[in-house]
Structure 1
Amino acid sequence: MKEFPKETIWQKKIHQFISDPSKVFKTTKGNRLQFLSPGKLNRNPGPDFLDVAILINSNVVICDCEFHIKASDWINHKHSSDPMYANVGLHIIFENDTELYEKFETLVIDSESLPEPKEEEPLTENEFIDTIDELQNYALLRLLRKTADARILANSMPLKDALNISIKNYLYKYLAKRHRPVYKNFDFDEFANGLTNSELFKFLIDIQNNEQFNITERFYTMMKTRIHNEGNHLRREILLNCVLPLALAIANEEQRIGLFVWFWSTPALNSYGILTTKFKNIPQNFIWQQQGMLEILYNFGKKSKISPQNFLKIGEVLNFFQIGNPPFPSSYNLSD
């Protein structure tokens, strides 16, 4: 039996389908699945999608993804003995007609639920990225990079000190780039003294103590509650760049899922002027889109492709992040 030609209508539809990071699925093994980045649509021999980033239960994994109409097509195409498919971590199918004794996860989807593929025009006016899908890779890289830094802090000192240093380091950079009168005489010591009784610190303590609560509601409360005399914009930046990474670094598995869901589904409060200028015709509808653009400016400054190599050092620090072959950690299974 022959493979479908690369870049078939199904391949395009599925790539668009898995490009929404807010959707949550369950695999045939009963594991929770969320697509953080759809990866690259492969026009050459090998898996249909390369370097797909998924959240499998509470673990972030970068792997390849293969699509077939039926599960048995994996056997018929003899992929198990083909080294090009050794990094497949997810198998997407329409019909689960046979059980595969493979290490990868399998996702069964309804072909009727797939959107009509859009002909995405190249972003010719933008010097940084070719497609909006690429932003998800950059957003994930930024979040995990900051979380790895936060994990190092959290492992070496009390949580209060880790938060204090994280915010202090961020504020020095933030205030150095802006010359707003309201922050001209910013007193960090006075700001830091208010952290102990702040909603931010209470949130992190509850994470550390494995408390159960609604993460989205707590983030909403933190966004609305002043620490000192900072404005809404600065407080939001502290949440994204300091509190969220620290929370991910110390969270248990269930909390980590909630934190990722918040990051990938929360609308942006407003647009960043510099991003509007630098990234023409690219929306800033969600926080993750803005974070992806900021990571491009921070780490690259010019058009560049992300590969698993960009994530290697992060994987040395974060035990919930993995590149490559399954099996994936399966200590946290969702019940039906």
Structure 2
Amino acid sequence: MGKTLTDVTLQLKNGTKANWASINPTLAKGELGLESDTAHFKFGDGVNPWTDLAYAGTIVKASASNGQLLIDGIETIIYTLPQAAISLLGGVKSQAAGSGKVVVGSDGTMSVAEVPKADILTTARTLTFSGDVAGNNNFDGSGNVTFALALVSSGVTAGTYTKLTVDAKGRVTAGANITASDVPSLTLSKITDSGTAAAKNVGVAAGNVPLLDSNGKLNSSVIPAMAINEIYTAASQTAMLALSADVGDVCARTDGAGSFMLKALPATTLANWVQLTAPTDVVTSVNGKTGVVVLTTDNVAEGTNLYYTDARATANFNTNFANKTVGGLSDGANVIMSGDSLVIDCGTVS
């Protein structure tokens, strides 16, 4: 079983027709050359240059000059229409002569004696619009006609109005401005953008909307009590218990006893103070170094795991890789050897 390559694109030797003619190469025997702009192709014979080779197959296309076909570049007549006569127009029989008919003369020329329907517009007609619009123009069939139509005045004076009267046709027949009496009384439930505060009473009770006093301040009864945490220092336990501290305040003892936080009042009771303990897992040094420590391989002994060096890498590479065969590599099964058979699978278009 030979190896198979997939996802292979086979690109033929190609170029424009002009480039092939200009370079005029000699293709090897059986070698295929493609004109990229005409889709025509030739097979080489190993002897003749490109311009002396015939295209493969027969090339048929329409002539650009006289409606004939080009077969391998040669003008070829496929069918010739018979000459027109009084009753024959290129193989198509004409109608009998008469008013409104197509007449073919003995020399093959055609003429129309008269088209009766066209007589209707030999005299220009006037089209007039009336009613809600007014305007008119003449039309004789020789070209498009534009009508400048004007709306008939409704009798309403031009202006901007907030209240209108409209008839059954949608025309404005009267206009006026809205007055206070035109606005109906609305309940709060009909006003969608009033907000929830609009339905509340003012005051300081639960559910009321508080108001500012004459000094621009809120009533003290609606302001919650606030505490500001402070940090104190004390030289002894007695001094700490004598502090005017609030819940959450911290006291740093300078006698070495540590720091305490008040969890409840009164501050004079020692049990209301909680000692803050420091972490016990603090790193004091790294490999004998303190402060901002930066270690390199010069500071840490190798042990059983040796450090990388250029000399060691070169020695290991030369020793290990030189003894490997191509087939012994991790992807050696995918390597094409001289004795392998190769199948190029270009895939299937579907």
TM-score normalised by the chain length of structure 1? 0.13
Ranked by relative contact order (alpha carbons within 8 Å, sequence separation 6 or more), the top structure is 1
TM-score normalised by the chain length of structure 2? 0.12
| Higher relative strand content | 2
